[in-house]
Amino acid sequence: AFFYIGGNDSMDTIKKLTDYGDSIGSPIRFVGIPKTIDNDVWCTDVSFGFDSAVTIATDAIDRLHSTASAHQRVMVIEVMGHKAGWIALHSGMAGGGDIILLPEIPFDIHVPFAINRLKKGKPYSIVVVAEGIPTIGGKKAAQYIAEEIEYETGFETRETVLGYIQRGGSPTAYDRNLATRMGGHATELIAQGMFGRMVALKGNTIESVPLSEVAGKLKLVTEDHDLIVQGRRMGICFG
């Protein structure tokens, strides 16, 4: 039995390995276990690694509030998320971001959000951007947004890119326990002779799904996600 632990590309690979093994009559059997900070694996509510990355990003956003407030600046923080904006969404909401920009939701950089906030007596803003948002000229997401905001508003703007800091350090207790539950369920699948499947979190239950339902698919943020709905009601801008 071979446990393949990884993200959506890994689940695509293990599906190919499963099909190839079956075609040649190999005795090796495969089970997938979803692990990615991007949380974009299809068919599972959460992948372990995600909560740890969100916790690190949220802590960074929390730390930027005091500087932004003291110097009355716009602070732009870039978090990981090439095609999926889950980290930006969850850390931005938890960290009190004023603007959260995701690859899945179109945005208009020319909207003078900072001026509107200034009129409401809020002289600074926190902008959380996923690294995969569209930019011009090949610029990094944070650089592009910071330059555009300063040009449009005249407000002093600074950028911070977390980068691989989000992928390191000690995992959260939630991720450790989720990994334990998923690993335990994976061994149960092997014992029961259920192969070619991926373990998945559905609500509070660990289940499994055929790899054929997972391979080649991405779980992306949608505009009807509850965090976005509630965030907009709170006045947070998503583009």
What positions carry a catalytic annotation? 38
Where in the chain does DSSP place strands (E)?
Answer: 2-6, 30-34, 74-79, 99-101, 125-130, 157-161, 197-202, 205-210
Which of 83, 106, 101, 82 is closest to 91 using CA atoms? 101
* Beta-strand pair 205-210/197-202: antiparallel
Count of all residues that appear for the chain in the document: 239
Between CA 57 and CA 80 the distance in angstroms is 9
Q: Phi, psi (5° rounding) for residue 211?
A: -60, -25
Other Cβ atoms within 10 Å of 83 Cβ, number: 14
Residue 140 is which amino acid?
A: K
Q: Are 153 and 114 in contact (CB under 8 A)?
A: yes
Q: How many angstroms separate the first and last alpha carbons of the chain?
A: 46
